[in-house]
Amino acid sequence: MNVSSTTTPSTPQIEVMKKATEVQEQQVLKVLESANEQSQKVTAQKTGLGNNLNIAG
């Protein structure tokens, strides 16, 4: 008799893991978008372009 020691996760466990992975992906994307926005704001401030237009020089 051949007995395998590996266990396969049941379908509910797989679904929970998929959902958790999706949530993590969404959170990472939000962080990256926020970092990108901050970077653009800093660049705009340094160049004098963007929300605060530096006309006076």
pLDDT of residue 34: 94
Task: State the CB neighbour count (10 A cutoff) for residue 33.
Answer: 10
CA atoms within 13 A on the CB side of 14: 5
DSSP state of 50: S
Regarding pTM above 0.75, the answer is no
Mean pLDDT across the stretch 10-37?
94
Q: What is the mean pLDDT of residues 23-35?
A: 96
The C-alpha torsion from 38 through 40 and 41 to 42, rounded to 10°, is 90
